[in-house]
Structure 1
């Protein structure tokens, strides 16, 4: 995130306004062609998802990936140089994200990029946030490091969209790597799951929503997903029904059973855009091109937009501290 304080972020906005400089913030998903395609041609465009009521995001990292860094052998930075640049120790230099003097914790380091996607896709700012979290693992006990920020955080944001209220849930966990990191948007006609990792690239149509007409032409919104490999005979498709025993007719009970059954399986489609280079590359390219052409209006993440994201994220930490839901005011997002 651009700063670990709202005041620091506001100073950066003012600096850009005063100098007129080309100032890009590194929310690289703004420049990712897969994310752009999802927002412009699936969420917007034909509105394949219909009214979106919920969004979800997570970045889960196991303890092995979250443990504090230690300096390589014989690569310690002299203490006088560390002090010159504001670091109290080599350990603080390597693990700055976990100290309030230098960083903003996991919700800032990892979560900022994904919470930012709620604002970017919805193209508005949240109206409220409620967050819970704490230093659940890195508490200095049993030889573990002591972090100054919550190592596990869960948040709920509320948005007022033209179609109604939408809620976005986000979690960042440092004690499990379960299912990695991704963002998901869920509507009454379909849902989409996307990530910088190509593992998550699916769009699901609710029953009675045929997207075939959107899967053709030079720039299709979605493409038909390939079949998963089926290695077991019972996974294969069949055109016959297993005979039902005479006792299958349950009479009046049958209706009750039908009412509680889960929804029908959803038709699976895919986002037809593949990024063949590092996820950060398009964002760096956007900055260089705008710098050369002197076109700040073409930046995909100008400083004011990133400031709004910074307020969105850091207010979640404030909610944890207060143990209460916080309602945003329009002036909160004004630098």
Structure 2
């Protein structure tokens, strides 16, 4: 990933700095699959320093949706600015790359980093409490309703899967979900989008990133997505554990197990479509133990548990 800014992008950034400020350093940051993320160190004439983050959608595959993603994230950060959820502040946005080389978002930098190691037992309650807080934010009028692109037909069955279980799973999502109360959803709530800053009492949440998917919908959708991520990162039982922690923290899921299972199965099948891409950032962050066979086995086991555990 390049640390150099295209001339047009550098000019745009400069236009959105305070008078007397300049960019003194540009460093690559770990990002997603479709965007380049850079940390910009900014200093003024009095040697005061602050840090901004520039997210640019550079991948050809992202160009069709980049404008929409940036617009949603900019609107979300504006909406959440007065809320208690720690989110970056919006500095500027070039939705359609009218001034930058690529569609870009400029935001403030938050301390901390995502934690992918095996210390999940000390953080899972923090994650659950954080998601309950997000779901407690009132849904703003006009907020788009959730959508799901995956279908039973689009699931990719791993070579080592129990085909009977996967066939049964596709039947589970063959019906529409029951109606439930609409909550404000992050839509990609998982460890990679939560920052932790380590203090004297241990890791504490310092920020929530990547709000491009913000929408309204059932709480189960966000919970199921995080469950699947935790099952792959730390093992299938941690996926089940997160749902329990969410309800213990005051979160409300669907009343019927069949509806809760619907969303967890749908999340697992959706994950199967991009399974090996999901773990790219995790491996880059040091989780080299997450080989292809490991994540396939974890997904198979988690799906089997979801299909058979009544909880």
TM-score by length of 2: 0.24
Structure ID, larger Rg = 1
Q: Which has the higher contact order (CA 8 A, sep 6+)?
A: 1
TM-score by length of 1: 0.22
Indicate the structure with greater helix content: 2
